[in-house]
Amino acid sequence: MTDPADFLEARDARQRELTRALFLFEGSGCLLMAGTNVPGPDKHAGGLAALLDEALERLARTHPFRILVSGLDALGPWRLAHVPAPAEAVKAAAVAVEGLDPAARLLDLDVYRPNGSQAGRAALGLPPRTCLLCDRPAVDCIRSQAHPVEDLRAQVDRLLATVRRAPTRIAIDQLAEGLHLGALRELELTPKPGLVDRRDRGSHPDLSFDAMRTSAQLLPQYYEDLLGRGGCQAPLAGCVEAGRDAEARMFAEIGTNGHRGYIFLSGLALLGACASGGRLEALPGAIAQVAAAFFQAHPPAPSTHGASIRARLGLGGIQAEAERGLPAVFETGWPAYRAALARGWDPDRAAFKLMAVLMQVLEDTTMVRRGGLAGLARLREAGAQLEALLDAGDDPLPYLTALNLAWCRDNLTMGGVADCMALTFALHDAAH
């Protein structure tokens, strides 16, 4: 449970940022301090960050602003922004936004004039906000502790239920674009043990950040080719040909394997999205069907690395994962990533959470090929340690940096994890 002293420290820190911003923007527009207002000790309920950012998006439609500080502290997620408009007009717009959604009752959109005074509801001739559970002014119920905390928390959960609702559809055109951007997002994330990133080549002496970026930039042509052939309506042979053409372009451009595994995985996802009509609940099954048809028509040669490992060690690898509809992504990775973002984690920290959980569930044959079953065990253990660090609120960068050095020394990597991360980023951006 959070120490009450942490709440006071968080309030003081926010006030310091506000004071600094008032000095910087003296006489210009107003400042918006946007945060959450949740009773009880737990200020980090899932969905609060999404609720806050959605409210700010609505406010920006009438009063564009610039975010100065985006934070997450003991009091929950919060944002400080400069709005180049009169304080009273911004407060009126903020009150209107708070009234659009019942869950917005959990937000505080406070507006400050250049002199530091607050433009409140009273200045607009509005009554004070009512309690979460009754029609009395909220401040009166808070002071008198009129309601049990358990009842207040139950109401918070009811209000957030719609915000926490998982997406139901995938926009296919957005997925095609997102698959390209997901590969770039995965590449940019730094540090990643054994993988190419902005810091180094990982355990891939034949690759570089620039080469991987070039490889990723070739992907849109592949997705355009797949959809142009008719997506899932095209003969399987035509889709396979599109994939082989994409691999040929990659090798011709960078001379080595940059995204070969991702070409297969992302193409599978795009064809599955077409086959499912964009319905998320049907997408894993559609992917499984496409994968089964592919491997039946094109069984891996026994001499390939993946087939050899599967036969020798009894692992399913990416073939079994695909034929089951990518459960590592849909049942583990993506839900963990969504939950991290909903709690207000910054995008990189949420991405590291995604990486951590995938490391624990994916049968990554690139790791097994280089490190055997002992390497797979190291992958699992490292993922668990990384997740524990993240959940404890610790900085994961020192651990990831040291792990990268150890894996580069031992020539270990996790290409399957990287591909599933990129795919998750794409699915998340295309879902609604």
Residue 427 has pLDDT above 80, yes or no: yes
Using the structure block, give the residue that is written with the tokens 């390939």: 304
* 165 located within any domain: no
> Are residues 207 and 254 located together in one domain of the fold?
yes
* Amino acid in the structure at residue 153: R
Which H or E element spans position 42? none
The two tokens of residue 235 are 């003969």
* 12 located within any domain: yes
Instruction: Pick the range with the lowest mean pLDDT from 187-196, 240-249, 301-310.
Output: 301-310
* 229 located within any domain: yes
> Is the Cα torsion angle 113, 117, 118, 123 positive or negative in sign?
negative
Domain boundary among 131, 160, 189: 160
> Are residues 155 and 185 located together in one domain of the fold?
no
> Are residues 391 and 420 located together in one domain of the fold?
yes
* 377 located within any domain: yes
Secondary structure in 3-state letters for 146-166: CCCHHHHHHHHHHHHCCCCCC
> Are residues 318 and 282 located together in one domain of the fold?
yes
| More confident site: 305 or 298 | 298
pLDDT interval class at 314 (50, 70, 90): low
> Are residues 108 and 178 located together in one domain of the fold?
no
Residue 421 has pLDDT above 70, yes or no: yes
Q: What pLDDT does residue 197 have? A: 98
Q: What pLDDT does residue 231 have? A: 72
> Are residues 52 and 95 located together in one domain of the fold?
yes
User: Using the 8-state DSSP alphabet, how is residue 214 labeled?
Assistant: H
Q: Assign residue 39 the CATH number of its domain.
A: 3.30.70
What global pTM score does this model have?
Answer: 0.72
Q: What pLDDT does residue 190 have? A: 98
Query: What is the arrangement of strands in the sheet containing 107-112, beginning at the earlier edge strand?
Result: 66-73, 76-83, 30-36, 107-112, 118-119
* 320 located within any domain: yes
Using the structure block, give the residue that is written with the tokens 């394997």: 257
pLDDT interval class at 312 (50, 70, 90): low
* Amino acid in the structure at residue 254: I
> Are residues 12 and 129 located together in one domain of the fold?
yes
> Are residues 93 and 213 located together in one domain of the fold?
no
> Are residues 409 and 304 located together in one domain of the fold?
yes
**Number of domains the chain is built from:** 2
Q: What is the pLDDT of residues 104-131, one digit of tens each?
A: 889 999 999 999 999 999 988 888 888 9
How many residues does this entry show for the chain? 432
> Are residues 262 and 207 located together in one domain of the fold?
yes
Q: What pLDDT does residue 393 have? A: 87
> Are residues 331 and 249 located together in one domain of the fold?
yes
Q: What is the pLDDT of residues 324-371, one digit of tens each?
A: 999 999 999 999 998 888 777 888 999 999 999 999 999 999 999 999
CB neighbours of 211 closer than 8 A, spacing ≥ 6? 254, 256, 258
Q: Which of 264, 288, 265, 262 is nearest to 275 (CA)?
A: 288
Q: What pLDDT does residue 56 have? A: 93
What region does 74 belong to: left with phi over 0, alpha with psi -120 to 50, or beta? Answer: alpha
Residue 309 has pLDDT above 70, yes or no: no
Q: What pLDDT does residue 429 have? A: 92
* 62 located within any domain: yes
Q: 102: domain range?
A: 4-160
Q: What pLDDT does residue 164 have? A: 66
The two tokens of residue 344 are 């207000």
Domain boundary among 109, 135, 160: 160
pLDDT interval class at 146 (50, 70, 90): very high
- When pLDDT is averaged across residues 138-150 and rounded to a whole number, the result is 90
Q: What pLDDT does residue 110 have? A: 96
Instruction: Pick the range with the lowest mean pLDDT from 53-57, 96-100, 147-151, 394-398.
Output: 96-100
What dihedral angle (degrees, nearest 10) is formed by the CA atoms of 311, 312, 314, 320? -40
pLDDT interval class at 230 (50, 70, 90): confident
* 155 located within any domain: yes
Residue 95 has pLDDT above 60, yes or no: yes
Domain boundary among 160, 191, 212: 160
Q: What pLDDT does residue 402 have? A: 98
pLDDT interval class at 280 (50, 70, 90): very high
Query: If you average pLDDT over every residue of the chain, what do you get?
Result: 91
pLDDT interval class at 101 (50, 70, 90): confident
Where in 228-313 does DSSP place strands (E)? none
Q: What is the pLDDT of residues 15-54, one digit of tens each?
A: 999 999 999 887 789 999 999 999 888 788 878 888 898 8
pLDDT interval class at 306 (50, 70, 90): low
- When pLDDT is averaged across residues 297-308 and rounded to a whole number, the result is 71
Residue 1 has pLDDT above 70, yes or no: no
> Are residues 156 and 176 located together in one domain of the fold?
no
* 337 located within any domain: yes
pLDDT interval class at 313 (50, 70, 90): low
Q: What pLDDT does residue 78 have? A: 94
